[in-house]
Amino acid sequence: MSRKLSVIVPIYNDADCVALFYERTAPILRSLGVDWEIVFVNDASTDDSLERIQALRRTDTRVKVITFSRNFGYHAAHLAGIASVDSDLYAMIHPDLEDPPELLADFYKHIQAGAQTVYGIRSQREEPAWVIFCRGLFYRINQLIADGPIVLWMAEFSMMTRHVRDAVLNNRTTFPFLRAEMSYVGLRMVGVPYLRVKRPLGESHYSLWRMIQFAVGGFLSSSTFPLRLCLYLAFLMGGAYPLLWAGFHWTLAEASQAASIFTFLFVLATGPMLALYLARTYKNVTARAVYHIDPASTDL
């Protein structure tokens, strides 16, 4: 019995990549011997990405499109893709071709051999040294402080079984961070090394600010360590204060000044962390939808 594979492709202002991505990906999918479809998730692009996807669909009905009512972001696009289609297998890949579609064939071989999740292990490409350093720092810190398992150098470029997909969708957070959630499921995971290349067309949408937002979101989605850090700091500063008072023989006025400084530093260090978690808790409790679909521009 043939399995069905849905390839989820988040897209935002990537009109130049649509045709080239299809031309490279479709032959790979045909060679797998599965029933397949390519599901573009249009994150309310402001260029003609939607029109180019619709033109592709007129030539190949295995091309599908989901369009958001407004821009909801990268992770919401992945989540909408895997939630909106019914398949046996799901793959996720970006259309910019930095992650090679040809690797989907290797992913499928590992799935056939019993893997539940197969992901690409990113190798470093030529980038500014500070970008490489910051990316490596993000992965290492995230792995160190995460509450559950975190796989190094894993992104959303992957293939998973329906079982893993269902487990990921069972997570009710309004802040999806799919790579962490796939790791959290566990089961058999296989990494396939590859070299990322520069995108042949268009420009990256990731600015330094978006990278910072992404990193902070990754930490908050996978770890409660910053909350525990508040407790550790309280014990550390509470224990250090009387020792310093005794060691430096402070007067009462000097001790009061030191206490004010300690309190200020503690609030400065912990207040923002508590505020971030409180905000995320509030939004999770209100449980607004992660995305909304525009039915007029969606064709599945």
- So what's the pLDDT on residue 71? 92
Please tell me the predicted confidence (pLDDT) of residue 61. Answer: 93
CB contact set of 200 (below 8 Å; sequence gap of 6+): 20, 97
Burial grade of 193 (CB within 10 A; 0-12, 13-18, 19 or more): exposed
Q: What pLDDT score was predicted for residue 124? A: 60
Q: Is 42 helix (H, G, I), strand (E, B) or coil?
A: strand
* Torsion, CA 67, CA 72, CA 76, CA 77, rounded to 10: 30
Please report the pLDDT score of residue 127 as a whole number.
Answer: 65
Distance in angstroms (rounded) separating the CA atoms of residues 196 and 16: 19
* pLDDT tens for the 300 residues of the chain, in order: 568 999 999 999 999 999 999 999 999 999 999 999 999 999 999 999 999 999 999 999 999 999 999 999 888 999 999 999 999 999 999 998 888 999 999 999 999 999 999 998 876 666 667 767 777 777 778 777 777 766 666 778 999 999 999 998 988 777 777 777 888 787 888 989 888 777 666 566 656 666 677 677 767 777 788 888 888 888 888 888 888 888 888 888 888 888 888 888 888 888 888 888 888 888 878 888 889 999 988 888
Q: How many CA atoms lie within 13 A of 232 on its CB side?
A: 7
